[in-house]
Chain A
Amino acid sequence: MKSMIIAFVAIAVLAVAADVVLDNMGFSTREQTSGPSTRNG
C-alpha cells in the first residue's frame, strides 16, 4: 500500500509544481492573452 500512497502524494506534488512552473514560465491566461494595452480582470 506504500506505493499507492506515495503515488497519490506524487499526484498532488506534480499538480502544484505544474501550476507554479507554468505560471512562472509565463503560461498564465493573463500573460498569454493580454498585451500592454489590454487588461484582464
Chain B
Amino acid sequence: MTLHRLLVVVLSLTVLFAPASWAEDVATGVEDPRAATGGAQTLEDILARQRGEAIDDTFRSEKIGDPDHAARMTDQLGTLGGASDADMYRSLRYGSAEVKVSSRSPAAGVLIQDGGMAWLKFRQGPLLTYGGYLLLGMLVVLLLFYLLRGKIRIDGERTGVKIMRFNSMERFAHWLLAGSFIILGITGLISLFGRVALIPLFGKEVFSPIAIAAKWAHNNIAWAFMVGLVLVFVFWVIENIPNRTDLRWLAKGGGLFSKGVHPPAKKFNAGQKIIFWSVIVLGVSISVSGLSLLFPFQLPMFAATFEKMNALGLPQLVGMAPLPTDLAPHQEMQLSQSWHAIIAFVFMAIIIAHIYLGSVGMEGAFDAMGTGEVEVQWAKEHHSLWYEEVTGEADDHATSPAE
C-alpha cells in the first residue's frame, strides 16, 4: 500500500509541474529546434550545410562530453571517461581535443581539418576555371591587338647606329627574374592543372616523374626569382618613380593604338612603370606566400594579416564579418596556397603582355634586353627624353609628341 501511495504522489507531482515548465518555455520563446533528434543535427541543418549556408554549429562543437561527470569506471561506458566516441570525434574535428603526438610537425596534432574541403573545392573549381580564363583571355586580347594594330614598327628610317640601353648587370638581373618566373609559371601550372589536364593526356605513370621534377624545380628555383626581384628593384626603382610625363604618356595611350604617335618618355615609360610596380608588388606577395609554403607551418601569416585587417575595419567596410584570426596550421597553408595561386595568375597575365610587347609585338624592343643596345631611331621614338639625357641631342619627337 505504501508503495502504491508513493507512486500516486510522484505521478501527481509530475502532472502538476510538467505543464508549468512547458508554459515557461513558451512564454520565454525558448524552443529547442533539435528536440526531435535529441540535440543531434536535423535534416534542416544538413540541407542548409549542403546549400553552403553558414550555420551556427556550436550545438555540435561544444558537445564533446563531460569528463567531470563521467560514469564511474565500474559503470556502463565508464571507461570512456565521460566522452563518447562521437564526443571524441567532435572534439578532434573542432580542434578542442588534447592530442599528443611524437612527430615534431606543428600540424601533426591536427587529426581532422574539415576546412580543407572548402580549400580543395576552391582549388579544383573556381581557381582553375577563372585562372585559366584569365590566361586565355589575355592571349586572345593580344592576338586581337596583333591583328588590329600589327607589329609596332620603327616609323623613321633606321640609322644603323646603336645606343646602350641596359648594361650587362641590368640584363643579368632581368633574365634571372624572367627565366625563373617562366619556369615557376610552367611548373606551377603543371602542379595545378596536372590532375585535370595532364593525367588524362599522358596517364599517371608519365605524369608522376613530371610532377616530381616540377615540384623540385618550383621549390628550388624560387630563390633565383627572389634574388632577381631584389636586384631588379635596386637597379630600376629610381627610374620607375612616377612623374608628370607619365600622365601625358597615358593620355596618348602610349602611342600603342595609333601609328606614328610617340609620346615622350624617359628611360621607362608609364606602361613599363606599371609593369615594374606590378612585378614588385606581386613579386613580394608571391614570394612571401611562397616562403610560407616552402617552410610548412613555420611561417604562418594569415592570422596576423587578418587581425590587422580587422583592426583597420577593412572587412567591415565592404559589409563582411571580421575575418577569422584563430586559424589551424593547415588553414594557414591552404590560404597561402590559394593566395599564391591567385597572385600567380594575375602575375602571369601581366607578364604575357610584357613578353608580347618585348618580343614579337614591337620591332627593336628585344635588343634592349638581348644585346643591351638599341637602334637610335627606336630610342628617339619610344624614349625620346631618355635619348636626350644620354646623348645630349634634342629630338624632334620630344617637342612635337603628337606627330
Contacts and interface: CB of A to CB of B under 8 A. Distances in A.
Contact of B371 (A1, A32, A33): A1
Contact of B220 (A3, A15, A36, A37): A15
Given A4-B370, A19-B216, A11 B224 contact: yes
Contacts of B104: 32-35
Contacts of A15: 217, 220-221, 223-224
A14 B371 contact: no
Size class of the contact patch on chain B = 20 to 34
B224 A38 contact: no
User: Chain A at the B interface: mostly helix, strand, loop or mixed?
Assistant: helix
Contacts, number: 68
Contacts of A2: 168
Contacts of A11: 176, 179-180, 183, 221, 224
A3 B168 CA distance: 6
A2 B175 CA distance: 11
Interface of A: 1-4, 6-8, 10-11, 14-16, 18-19, 27, 32-38
Interface of B: 102-105, 108, 168-169, 171-176, 179-180, 183, 216-217, 219-224, 227-228, 295-296, 369-372
21 contacts: A1-B371, A3-B175, A4-B179, A7-B171, A7-B176, A7-B228, A8-B175, A10-B176, A10-B224, A11-B176, A11-B179, A11-B183, A14-B221, A18-B220, A27-B295, A32-B296, A33-B105, A34-B104, A35-B104, A37-B102, A38-B103
